[in-house]
Amino acid sequence: MNKHWLHADKDPMGRAIHDYYTTGRAERLRVFSSQFDEDELPVGELFRTFQQMPLLEQTALRLAKGRILDVGAGSGCHSLALRDMQKEALAIDISPWSVEVMQKRGVNAHLANVFDERFTGQFDTILMLMNGSGIIGKLKNMPAFLTRAKQLLAPGGCVLMDSSDLRYLYEDEDGSFLIDLAADYYGEVDFQMQYGKVKGEPFDWLYIDSDTLSAYAAQYGFRVEKLQEGEHYDYLARLSVK
Ligand code: SAH
């Protein structure tokens, strides 16, 4: 598993965030995947305000308390919304360009990878939003992730994470499920981004259904509560140490 941060020359999303922050606009942020057709990530949405956020994210921000860690914070939109709510957050990201923008926006932001043991601290709430489970990458990284979560959580703390069940992509109209059970878990996706000439390395991104999340979490001493469901197979989960 990658425990490093991105090279500044291979940070397309960070470059897009930086352009948008400095000029108010950005070129197309293109998203490639071996599983899906080419897509585009609207850069402006990374700068969403509390009012523009989906309900699941608003709920997570309302529930966040104490010392808060915003993991994979991007432009810092959640950390800034928390500040407006008089809550204090530390933001981390592996994107050097994003961290620079967050610091310019007044966010307490560090260039750090959540899987890197050199990053330490004790947090009451760990936030992972915008399919935050994606950062875990693959199901096989769940034990390493849960171990890190335990290290970073203060007693009584919790992880608030959103994800989606991708089964709808494989469901037939009659509801039958066309999945090869011998294949990799259906929520394991690979992505690669490109912004202008800046192309990032491919990376793994995990979408996880709540039953699978609960099963893994239970094995490592966590309790999972599904707090809220979104409009499209997405949900917000709270993970706390049993
Ligand atoms: N949470 C933000 C950004 C989501 S995009 C929002 O909701 O708008 C995902 C972010 O996670 C990217 O900025 C990416 O650089 C960061 N990231 C990916 N892997 C990471 C890791 N292992 N540790 C910390 N940040 C990571």
Distance 92 CA to ligand 1 centre (A): 8
Nearest alpha carbon, ligand 1 atom 16: 72
Q: How much is the pLDDT for 169?
A: 86
User: pLDDT for 196-209, tens place per residue?
Assistant: 999 999 999 999 99
Say if ligand 1 is within 6 A of residue 90 CB: no
Q: Can you give the chain as a three-state secondary structure string?
A: CCCCCCCHHHCHHHHHHHHHHHHCCCCCEEEECCCCCCEECCHHHHHCCHHHCCHHHHHHHHHCCCCEEEECCCCCHHHHHHHHCCCCEEEEECCHHHHHHHHHCCCCEEECCCCCCCCCCCEEEEEECCCHHHHHCCHHHHHHHHHHHHHHEEEEEEEEEEEECHHHHCECCCCCECCCCCCCCCCEEEEEEEECCEECCCEEEECCCHHHHHHHHHHCCEEEEEEEECCCCEEEEEEEEC
Distance 177 CA to ligand 1 centre (A): 31
To the question of pTM greater than 0.85 for the whole model, the response is yes
What angle, 0 to 180 degrees and rounded to 10, lies between the N-to-C axes of helices 142-152 and 210-219?
70
Q: Is it the case that residue 179 has pLDDT exceeding 80?
A: no
User: pLDDT for 140-170, tens place per residue?
Assistant: 999 999 999 999 999 999 999 999 999 888 8
pLDDT bin (cut points 50, 70, 90) of residue 178 is: low
User: pLDDT for 31-87, tens place per residue?
Assistant: 999 999 999 999 999 999 999 999 999 999 999 999 999 999 999 999 999 999 999
- Contacts with 19 (C-beta within 8 Å, 6 or more apart), sequence order: 25, 26, 27, 43
Q: What is the CA radius of gyration of the chain?
A: 17
Nearest alpha carbon, ligand 1 atom 21: 113
pLDDT bin (cut points 50, 70, 90) of residue 177 is: low
**How far is it, in rounded angstroms, from Cα 85 to Cα 169?**
37
**How far is it, in rounded angstroms, from Cα 17 to Cα 28?**
11
Mean pLDDT of the chain: 95
Of 94, 130, 162, the one to substitute when testing ligand 1's pocket (max ligand atoms within 8 A of C-beta) is 94
